[in-house]
Structures are given as C-alpha cells and as structure tokens.
Amino acid sequence: MTTIVLVPGAWLTPAFYEPFLSAVREAGHPVHCAEYPSLDPADPTTADCTADTKVLTQTLRTLVEDEGRDLLLVLHSYAGMPGAAAATGLSKSERVRQDKRGGVVGMVFIAAFIVSEGISCSGLQGGDLPGWILLDKPQPHLNVPHDPKTNFAGDIDARLLVELNSYIKPHSTVAFNSPQPAPAWADDAFAGRLAAIVTGADLAVPKVAQYGMLAATQKNWIIREIDCSHCAPFISRIYESVNLVLGLLREFEGV
C-alpha cells in the first residue's frame, strides 16, 4: 500500500496536519509527516531551502531505499519547493526500470509554491515577501505570519480555529530568500504523475498566482480546485481533500 508522505507548509507544525493524516489512515494508507529545519530552526541563518531539501531527501531515501516503500508526496504551500527537490532521482518509474523496490509514485501540490530552479520564494514575488509576513519576529532572521486566522483560514467557522495559533511557529527568513534546488517535477520521469489542488479562495497564495506558477512550468498537470482558503483542506475540507488526493494516486498508479 502506498505511503502518503505529507510535507508541511511554512510556520505549521506537523500536529496541525494530524486530522488530515488520521483521515488518510482511516482510508487504509500508511502516512508519514516529514519535517525540515527551517521551521522553528535552531540556527535560522543556515536553514535555507537547500538545507530543507537535504533533510527531506534523506527522509525519502530512507523510506524508499531502506524500506522499499511506494510514496505519494503531498506538498503544502512552501513545501512545494524543498519537497519537489527532495524527490529527484526517486521516481517509481525510474526505479522500476532499474529493477529496484519502492519509489515516488507521484506528487500532489496543495496551495503550493511551484518554482523553477534558481528562483527564490521572494524572487518569484518581485524580490519582496508579502506584508503579512512579519520579518525579524520574534527575533532577527525569523518571521511569523500576521493574523493567520484571516490569511490562512478566513472562510472557516471560528470554532474550528481555536487552536490554530498554537500550531504556528517561527520560520527562517533565509528559506524564503534562497534559491529553489532542481525540482523533480521538471524531470520526464514524473510525466503524468504531477497534480495540483488549487485553493480558489486563498489569501496567502492567491488562485491567480497558483495557476501562474503551474503555467510557468510548461508541464502537463492534473488540476483540481477547492473553493476554499489556504488551510481549509486540512481543517474544514479534510474528507474532500483526502478523496481528491487518493483519487489522484489512483490516476498516477494507472500511468
């Protein structure tokens, strides 16, 4: 059975995604929530996108090469950058040809940054980060989001957001200002195995920006859309998003 590997977005701890992961488990799939160093970093000056990629690469290699697992990567928001790079060389299609066990069956990007090699998250936005990202908070080289309930979950009943702030941790600013390592979505090995779930009412990564990033890749994507905010797929639209993810997995497995 394919393992669903979720890579969290910026600022959000793995605990935030537990309801989504629980729903995936209920649907019969093992899960793994991958972590990376730019979230609440020990040293924010070194926790860049490359450092995140290296840690995620080791995680994926352990699951694929040591344990022989088939993986579906689910990448939320910023995770679309280091998560995509970490999958390089691990595609299921490549490993089958090499008579090796395991591999990444495909990648699903949810409200995610899909960025070409050498471009940073801030560079994609003209060199500046959005004003709702509060720089040098709570200390230099770190940042936190302003009013996450509005920017991440403005369409969700307030009763479901009571604990949201407890899942928010500082993120290293250098992660957003450092270049994207070579992303696996650019490899022919992932042709037919790329999907995006666009969040149509997203204030953090607007719908038009999500479609713009997809178009800029000049790749063929399977696209689904949920008319919701940035974090709603993991709070109020869990079963809808899980059904979409597992439906996409079935499409990848049929390639």
CB 118 within 8 A of CB 179: yes
Question: How far from 133 is each of 71, 143, 182, 215, 232, CA to CA, in Å?
Answer: 32, 7, 26, 26, 19
- How high is the pLDDT of residue 91? 98
Burial class (CB in 10 A: 0-12, 13-18, 19+), 233: buried
- How high is the pLDDT of residue 73? 98
Chain length of the chain: 255
Exposure pattern of 20-35 as b/e (b: 16+ CB <10 Å)? bbebbeeeebebbbbe
- Could you give all domains of the chain from N- to C-terminal order, each with its CATH number? 3-253 (3.40.50.1820)
The model carries a pTM of 0.98
- How high is the pLDDT of residue 254? 84
Residue found under tokens 């859309």: 225
Reading the chain (255 residues) residue by residue, the pLDDT tens digits are 999 999 999 999 999 999 999 999 999 999 999 999 999 999 999 999 999 999 999 999 999 999 999 999 999 999 999 999 999 999 999 999 999 999 999 999 999 999 999 999 999 998 999 999 999 999 999 999 999 999 999 999 999 999 999 999 999 999 999 999 999 999 999 999 999 999 999 999 999 999 999 999 999 999 999 999 999 999 999 999 999 999 999 999 987
Reduced to 3 states, what is the DSSP secondary structure of residue 197? strand
How is residue 197 written in tokens? 């779930």
